[in-house]
Amino acid sequence: MDIRGIWKVKEIRVPTPDGVRVFTPDNPPQEERFEGSAELMNYRTEFAEDGMLNTLMFVPEEMRQEAAKQGVEVREDGYAAIESTTWKEARMAGLTRLAVMISMYQSSTVISG
């Protein structure tokens, strides 16, 4: 499988005592206890052609000029890399973290490329 490209979380299903709650980017959680789930939906993961693994965050139009003044490179699609490493370096750190996240959400989260 060729994993190159930009990946995003489409939905997160969180088991609660009241049943399963489904969060999407259009319906993010409001409670503080689900803050990590809301944050996860804001990011994109890019497996770039040049071998870099980038964590991307969307920069709203009204903040792009300020971001540029602070040295942040905002791409044409409105995303900026907030963390970058090579795939090889990420194998032990990032991919291990990703595997843990996937195992936590395996049956309850939909991730797409």
Q: Is the pLDDT of residue 103 over 60?
A: no
> Rounded mean pLDDT of 39-58?
88
Given pLDDT bands bounded at 50, 70 and 90, which one contains residue 113?
Answer: low
Given pLDDT bands bounded at 50, 70 and 90, which one contains residue 89?
Answer: low
Q: Is the pLDDT of residue 33 over 50?
A: yes
Given pLDDT bands bounded at 50, 70 and 90, which one contains residue 26?
Answer: confident
CA-closest candidate to residue 81, choices 111, 48, 110 = 48
User: Could you give the C-alpha distances from 48 to 21, 72, 84, in angstroms and in order?
Assistant: 33, 18, 10
Q: pLDDT value at position 102?
A: 59
Measured distance CA(1)–CA(94) in Å, rounded: 19
Q: pLDDT value at position 49?
A: 86
Residue 31 contacts residue 18 (beta carbons within 8 Å)? no
